[in-house]
Structure 1
Amino acid sequence: MEDKKIEIKQHYGLLTALSMIVGICVGSGIFFKSDDILAYTGGDVLLGVLVFCIGALCVIFGSITLTELASRTEKTGGVVGYFEEFISPAAASAFGWFQVWVYFPTITVVVAWVAGIYTTMLFNLPSTLETQVGIGLIYLTFLFGMNYISLKAGGRFQNLTTFIKLIPLIGIGLVGLFWSAPNPEIPNEVAVIGTSSVGLGWLAALAPMAFSFEGWVISTTITPEVKNAKRNMPIALTIGPLIVLVVYLAYFLGTVSIVGEEYILSTGDAAISQIGTAILGANGESIMLTFVLIAVLGVVNGLTLGYIRLPQALATKNMIPMSDSIKVMDAKRELSPASTIFAFVVSLVWMGLHYISQKTSLLSGGDISEIAIVFSYLAYAVLYLKVIQLKREGVIKNVFLGYVAPVLGTLGSLVILVGGIFSNPTFVPFFLIFSLLVCIAGFVYYQKKNQIAS
């Protein structure tokens, strides 16, 4: 039977593209990584601000650079399409394998697990790893199903959660500007951690910072479904990271103003509960945790929305096994059911691996998402260098867009690499090698498949 080609319709506008960038970046990371950033800087707030600014610049210059590629191709698959158009189909297959087998599923399951953590806190459930992972699996299953059954529901949920999550973040920042009450006392059962000098140790803060900003590039996966994409995607990729930076700095400085550095260093993620109580009274903790949970679920939704389309995009290019089955789309839903199932099953496998790594403390306090984030920035650097080449060939005329932005984006990728190694010198090199082997497998698969086809 001959497959019918289904024309991809433009469902999403600039608002959804922007809300994907802001909604995926702003969510889980800022709530449970900002205390890590402060810890790595020894409680130095100004150094923490510097770390956030470095992260924003890495993303801003990187996204501005990628807009030069986004506006010059109609290939599907987001960054995979950029590799296919501007590097080679084999390189696209290599990066596609990394994204479909490692990047998307590891980040998705970790954030779903975080949603489980906040759910146990909100409803006073047993805060065991099993409960957290079990709740995370329920969220994961629901959001995969919702995004497959209804394109509009997934987009609307993304827009809604993005606006809702901005309320506490911006609100805490504004309250912090006028806060004059004394810092709360640290609970007796909590060990007091004071500020300290960390020397070059602050570079380790670049790893949780990278997680906090991670996800902006996922919005490129819906490019074919964005109305007037050549205009709207560059706008979204430029404005989105700036919004994220403003929100992050407002929240970070607001939390320090309300509870103080030592309280955050000592209590970690639990500081958000105290902030809610301080601002809103007795029910403040529950209200704040509700906002946080919605924010994190918005991240899982955005990741899911992007991930279920990736196997489908790779299958249309014959870059993964079972491509003939995976690329068959449901005419009514305009998505491939096999692609959705593929993404869901891979996510389940990684959730199992995440459970094992957390149960055994295999990663020394880290998590499986660290496998993907540092490597992804190194992969983006390949595209940044391609933009420089296009400038030298005269395709790109603007000096800032052709030289300055990609050079600074590349430097940002190297900074994040250094930060990742500082944060976990034992496992990050292993993660990089693992991710590289996955890419090599994808490259070899495409080469062999192409040889057989020819």
Structure 2
Amino acid sequence: MGEENLKKRKGEDNKKEDGQSIQSHEPQAMNLQKEVGLTSGICMIVGTIIGSGIFVSPKSVLANVGAVGPCLTMWAACGILATLGALCFAELGTMITKSGGEYPYLMEAFGPIPAFLFSWTSLLVTKPSSFAIICLSFAEYTLAPFYPGCDPPQVAIKCLAAAAIGKTENFKDSYKDSSVSFGSIGLAFYNGLWAYDGWNQLNYITEELKNPYRNLPLSIIIGIPLVTVCYVLINISYFTVMTSTELLQSRAVAVTFGDRVLYPASWIVPVFVAFSTIGSANGTCFTAGRLIYVAGREGHMLKLLSYISVKRLTPAPATIFYGIVAIIYIIPGDIDTLINYCSFAIWIFYGLTVLALIVMRFTRKDLKRPVKIPTIIPVAVTLASILLILAPVISAPELAYLYCVLFIGSGLIVYVLFVYFKFNWPQKISKPITMHLQMLLEVVPAEEVTE
């Protein structure tokens, strides 16, 4: 009896150790863990969206539409489109509860080729260039206070402008001198929507969401309208202290705003912008790694990229690889150019993914749909994506758009060779490299989850 009591006491001690329950002492399954709740989901959406865009895009949006009125209208319209797109992804994410964003939806609706082309383009173009834009913005705003020569206004002008806070002269005749055209609207949307990019980030980590049927749509419904209101108010605050011309001439809009409102405490603005951008970069890196992980798990990328860390149960190889590719984009990176061509590629697949939702309404009626939105919403988003893709190409055709399409198409060659015909590198080369990387990174293949 004494021995049994001792064993029982030891078992109770194990339960209480470090304040953990006995479940924590059981071996964890080697796969991604469900640890993201509603609050974390909202923070992920808001924190990833509010990164560099609101500090970079205002100049480009204004430059394309030419006046304050259309500019503010564009910011509100971008918020509405982002919300509608996110609602489509909410239905997709609760219908197909797999991580990887657009990848599993394209796979389910259209098969492996569109899914592979998405992962191919995301891995080498859209995700790393997006990460590069955020990091370039972080660097630009962090260095801005150390180069006062880049700030056009003088001390007297700053003080005079600060005294005028709250006045509305810049909003009079706000639609006068606007230069709105089919192409300029498309480019303005590109830059505005770039600031909202991140509305689909939770779909990349669906497998790590607690109760995704509830938390995914709720996070979207709460998070994106919150960001939309915030963005419109921020732009109003910009135009309150700057004219259109002054905003276009500013090297760093938020820094100029801070100079006029908070002088001499204007250093606070670039510090907070730096925090915002680095936080968004962290969220972007977190979610993009999951796409590469899922593609590797499906055999569409190197198998090593689907391995997970033994200690942290995260896709470490995928995240590291993503970071390396992003660094390549930073070297020659120009923020405005990257935004335009990145947005062009992104909206090709956004449109295709929302079209997949419409297609599966007819081809996969058997799938459970905890969230079902009116059909008019995915139809509207699909049409909007088509217009966004065609607008800049028709009005201001550039070879870069053709190169982008050719690059996406080149993924077909890679798919045929390495996925369809399963051409593998010689085992003498690939096997020892994989083995050594496994030991270095302490990663193992994920266990299959049976639902």
**Is the structural similarity TM-score above 0.5?**
yes
Corresponding residue of 1:233: 216
**Structure 1 pair 14–258 and aligned structure 2 pair: CA distance change class (3 A):** same
Corresponding residue of 1:179: 166
Distance in 1, matches of 2:273 and 2:211, equals 33
Q: Is residue 110–residue 368 contact of structure 1 (8 Å, CA) maintained in 2?
A: yes
Corresponding residue of 2:314: 335
Corresponding residue of 1:196: 177
Per the alignment, in what secondary structure is the counterpart of residue 397 of structure 2?
Answer: coil
**Offset, 1:286:** 0.6
**Offset, 1:238:** 3.3
Distance in 1, matches of 2:307 and 2:124, equals 20
Q: Deviations over 1:188-238 (max 9, x none)?
A: xxxxxx973424164132221122222222332121111111221122233
Per the alignment, in what secondary structure is the counterpart of residue 11 of structure 1?
Answer: coil
Per the alignment, in what secondary structure is the counterpart of residue 17 of structure 1?
Answer: helix
Work out which of the residue numbers 406, 422, 425 in structure 2 matches 1:449: 422
Distance in 1, matches of 2:216 and 2:369, equals 20
**Offset, 1:34:** 0.6
**Structure 1 pair 275–76 and aligned structure 2 pair: CA distance change class (3 A):** closer
Counterpart mapping for 1:333-412 below 5 A = 333-354=312-333, 358=334, 366-392=336-362, 401-412=373-384
**Structure 1 pair 126–317 and aligned structure 2 pair: CA distance change class (3 A):** farther
> Post-superposition, which runs of at least 4 consecutive aligned residues in structure 1 deviate over 6 A?
175-178, 396-400
Corresponding residue of 1:85: 108
**Offset, 1:435:** 4.1
* TM-score relative to the length of structure 2: 0.75
Corresponding residue of 1:145: none
**Offset, 1:125:** 9.1
Per the alignment, in what secondary structure is the counterpart of residue 329 of structure 1?
Answer: strand
One-letter amino acid of the structure 1 residue matched with residue 379 of structure 2: V
- State which structure, 1 or 2, has the greater radius of gyration over its C-alpha atoms: 2
Distance in 2, matches of 1:404 and 1:94, equals 27
One-letter amino acid of the structure 1 residue matched with residue 348 of structure 2: L
One-letter amino acid of the structure 2 residue matched with residue 32 of structure 1: V
Q: Deviations over 1:94-135 (max 9, x none)?
A: 2111111111111101211111111111344998xxxxxxxx
The CA RMSD over aligned residues, in Å, is: 3.3
**Structure 1 pair 199–78 and aligned structure 2 pair: CA distance change class (3 A):** closer
**Offset, 1:179:** 0.7
Work out which of the residue numbers 237, 254, 266 in structure 2 matches 1:272: 254
**Structure 1 pair 273–240 and aligned structure 2 pair: CA distance change class (3 A):** same
- Stretch of structure 1 that moved more, 249-258 or 410-419: 410-419
One-letter amino acid of the structure 1 residue matched with residue 121 of structure 2: F
**Offset, 1:253:** 1.1
List gaps (5 residues or longer) in structure 1: 128-174, 184-193, 359-364
Corresponding residue of 1:153: none
**Structure 1 pair 91–336 and aligned structure 2 pair: CA distance change class (3 A):** same
- In the alignment, structure 1 residue 293 sits paired with structure 2 residue 267: no
**Structure 1 pair 431–425 and aligned structure 2 pair: CA distance change class (3 A):** same
Q: How many residues align?
A: 378
Q: Is residue 88–residue 354 contact of structure 2 (8 Å, CA) maintained in 1?
A: yes
Equivalent pairs: percent with the same residue?
A: 22
Distance in 2, matches of 1:343 and 1:220, equals 18
Distance in 1, matches of 2:219 and 2:176, equals 38
One-letter amino acid of the structure 1 residue matched with residue 131 of structure 2: T
Q: Is residue 184–residue 392 contact of structure 2 (8 Å, CA) maintained in 1?
A: no
Distance in 2, matches of 1:222 and 1:291, equals 27
Corresponding residue of 1:437: 409
**Offset, 1:248:** 1.0
**Structure 1 pair 251–125 and aligned structure 2 pair: CA distance change class (3 A):** closer
* TM-score relative to the length of structure 1: 0.74
**Structure 1 pair 98–392 and aligned structure 2 pair: CA distance change class (3 A):** same
